[in-house]
Amino acid sequence: MVFCGVDPNRRQSRELEKKITAWMKDYKKAIKILLLGAGESGKTTIIKQMKILHISGFSPEEKREKAQDIRNNIMEGITTLTRNLDELNIELEQEENQEAKDYILSIDPENFNFPEEFYVYTMQLWSDAGIQEVYSQQHRFQLIDCAKYFLDKVDVVKQPDYEPTIQDILHSRRRTTDIQKIEFEVKVPKKYGGGSLNFWMYDVGGQRGERKKWIQVFDGIQAVLFLVSTSCFDLVIREDEETNRLQESINIFRSMWNSRFLKYSGFIVFLNKQDILKEKVTHGRTRIAEYFPEYNNYKLLSKDRDSQENEEYLRARCFIRDKFIDISKQVVKREGRRLAPGLQPQDDWPARECYCHFTTATDTNNVRIVFEDVHNMIIMWNLSEIGVNVS
């Protein structure tokens, strides 16, 4: 370990070594990380990635459960698209697909056993130009992100012996309605002392009805990973069908950044779903300025330019990033309150920084690299608290 700025005085050096030894002893206790963000931002996908990267992956039983989730995702996707044919006044191109439409719209999802005809009718509709036109207008209604991924794989999923791949599992969607916890161990780099660290990562539901549960896991949180679905700038939330999803994420982040329960927690923002954002922006289906007019005046800084990337995509992702950084730069003042005579007011909140990463939660390599940065950052935060500079 190499420490910068350490007084060469032997006595002080011994005291410092004692501090480090005590810190490493405490550090063997679990580091608590909380995943926060609006619904469908990718929190549960990060949990899945931790299982892949730091545990043994998924058991046969878990794979069977995910296979059922995937079938449900296909049903939800094709039902949503079919229902919106009439909502958007779009006709099927092939008249013979009317029978398939009627079948899909008649499905009762309760105890549905996915017979062969379901898959046949689903593939017929998905290949129809009318349904594809509905899909191209998905910003006008609620459609799960994984719809296309699984509708393109119906002929595989329908097989009786179907076993989902890792990518299938990462793309699968199931609404989180409770607090999930995952425990895993990560090796500590030798320059930070070696050994390993135990992590406890908590995932909580992002829908409005689930957020009242968040406070249950605020105690002792060292780091908040706040996930943002960057591709949702043109969508509204499911809860009220009015509030812009990206604006909802911004509002939640502001609330969490200002929360007195998290004022000593480090904040790291995962600007997620970069693959979907890039596809939307580069194909020009919708423009951020239609939903955030200030985007028209946003200038891309030279440090954010990349000759290998589409400039409009870079502008979009950096514009969204800066929305969160701007909040983190605001000084959080203590709440005004009366004090008893002789008591001094408490200091303002500690100075904090917010670190942002562009992520695609379904990309295991991307998540691995980003989490290594997060891991190192948490180590440095803890060493900084005991007055140690590490280089």
Q: Which residues are annotated as a binding site for Mg(2+)?
A: 44, 176
Say if CB 375 and CB 386 are below 8 A apart.
no
Q: In sequence order, which residues have a C-beta less than 8 Å from that of residue 375 and are 6 or more positions away?
A: 186, 197
DSSP 8-class letter at 215: G
Q: Specify the residue for token string 């958007």.
A: 88
DSSP 8-class letter at 333: P
Bridge partners (DSSP) listed for residue 389? 4
**How many CB atoms neighbour CB 105 within 10 A?**
12
Say if CB 276 and CB 145 are below 8 A apart.
yes
Residues at the annotated binding site?
40-45, 170-176, 203-207, 272-275, 361
Q: For the purposes of burial, counting CB atoms within 10 Å of the CB of 316, is it exposed (0-12), middle (13-18) or buried (19 or more)? A: buried
Say if CB 176 and CB 210 are below 8 A apart.
yes
Structure tokens at 269: 């923002």
Closest CA to 270 of 52, 55, 46: 46
**How many CB atoms neighbour CB 244 within 10 A?**
17
What would the DSSP string read from start to end of 340-390? -TTPPPPPPPPP--EEEEE--TT-HHHHHHHHHHHHHHHHHHHHHHTT-EE
Residues found in the chain: 391
DSSP 8-class letter at 223: E
Say if CB 37 and CB 249 are below 8 A apart.
yes
Q: Specify the residue for token string 């060493």.
A: 383
CA pair distance 264, 352, nearest whole angstrom:
8
Residues at the annotated binding site for GTP?
40-45, 170-176, 203-207, 272-275, 361
Q: Rounded to the nearest 5 degrees, what angle is found at the Cα of 128, between the Cα atoms of 127 and 130? A: 140
